[in-house]
Amino acid sequence: MTVAAASLAGCSTYNPTSRSAALPNQGTPLPAPREGLEPAGWLSPARKSGPLLYVAAEQDNEILIYPENGYNQSPVGMITSGVSKPYGLFVDQSGSLYVSNQNPPTVTVYAPGSTDPSVTYSEGLERPLYSIVDQYGDLFVGNSSGYQCGTGTIVEYKTGSQNPYQTLSVPGREVDGMDFDQQGNLYAAYRRCGRRGGIVKFAPGSTEGQRLDIKVYQPQGLIVDDDGNILVADSGSGAPRLDFYRVGKRYPALKFKLPFLNYPVQLAITSDESRLFVSCFNEGHVFVTGYPLSASSTWTLEDNAPGQPQGIALSNGQTF
């Protein structure tokens, strides 16, 4: 592993070993993108930027693009066209970036190297927060009922169609992080009208979800690793953290707080599952750690993004 992993439960540990010095609690803001930045070239082979990290800056209505390798770097590009109150991000097998926009409610898709959307999804969406694409190219969008106590849904679009194919209901008002396991089961975190939430599992092709006996307070991002373990962001338990559940278990085997009492949002893991990233909206931090996780794991600050960052995604991230 190239970096260490996260700190256990009550110990919020920052690992400065890969940096020249530890950062202060508020972090060090990144400089603004340089004048004359060429956003259309952010995936140009000539740039040789390597794998990329995408960050949704909700307040600034933009997607910032950083090199994945290295620490506290300036953006190498940005996307603003079609971006409005962005939340969750996803990159599919072809390298296309999916942005969930809250207002107006859309999911915009950007082909590799483009800063203008090639496709925009809007039908059936009320407040999309997260999206994911399965191995067949079908798009699933986690949809909130807005800020009211309605029913959250997952809207599925078949490849090549912008019309909803079917809608899945969850036992809550909004759908948060989603992921697939190796068998094609879809896992979705959801929130109820109160603070409590949970995780529901949909078998391939099924419209009926199985509610897992897992309780999460105000869940955000969710990952299912190749072994079937679940990692979910719990942002509302009074002590924001990540909970790690082993296959089939109802209680977390590990609980990880983030440095500086950061509130976790989205999780992203590399395709080889060697590095795990998490975005934090309250301090603007993006942290990275090695994977698999252990009780002695620690976090390293990757970047510090402005604009109240929400979602993140990797150009070389886990896909199905």
Q: Point out which residues pair with 144 in neighbouring strands.
A: 127
Please state the domain count of the chain. Answer: 1
Cα–Cα distance for residue pair 129/140, rounded to 1 Å: 11
Residue 16 located in a structural domain: yes
Helix/strand/coil for 59? coil
**Contact between residue 173 and residue 192 where contact means Cβ atoms under 8 Å apart:** yes
Cα–Cα distance for residue pair 224/268, rounded to 1 Å: 11
Residue 263 located in a structural domain: yes
Residue 99 located in a structural domain: no
* pLDDT tens across the length of the chain (320 residues): 333 333 333 333 333 333 223 333 333 333 343 343 444 344 444 455 689 999 999 999 999 999 999 998 889 899 999 999 999 999 999 999 999 999 999 999 999 989 999 999 999 999 999 999 999 999 999 999 866 677 889 999 999 999 999 999 998 899 999 999 999 999 999 998 876 899 999 999 999 999 999 999 899 999 999 999 999 999 876 778 999 999 999 999 999 998 888 899 999 999 999 999 999 988 889 999 999 999 999 999 999 888 888 999 999 999 88
pLDDT for the residue numbered 49: 64
Tokens linked to 8: 């256990």
Residue 189 located in a structural domain: no
Round the CA-based radius of gyration of the chain to a whole number and report it: 18
pLDDT for the residue numbered 161: 98
Q: Return the ∠ at Cα 319 (arms to 127 and 42), rounded to 5°.
A: 80
Q: Return the ∠ at Cα 103 (arms to 124 and 129), rounded to 5°.
A: 65
How far from the centroid of its chain's Cα atoms is residue 88's Cα?
A: 5
Residue 210 located in a structural domain: no
The whole-model pTM stands at 0.86
Residue 96 located in a structural domain: no
User: In the 3-class helix/strand/coil scheme, how is 81-142 assigned residue by residue?
Assistant: CCCCCEEEEEECCCCCEEEEECCCCEEEEECCCCCCCCEEECCCCCEEEEEEECCCCCEEEE
Which structural domain range is residue 48 located in?
1-80+258-320
Indicate the residue type of 262: N
Tokens linked to 94: 């072809």
Indicate the residue type of 267: L
Residue 319 located in a structural domain: yes
| Helix, strand, coil shares, percent, the chain, to 5 | 0, 45, 55
Residue 43 located in a structural domain: yes
Q: Return the ∠ at Cα 92 (arms to 89 and 94), rounded to 5°.
A: 135
pLDDT for the residue numbered 275: 97
Cα–Cα distance for residue pair 211/32, rounded to 1 Å: 44
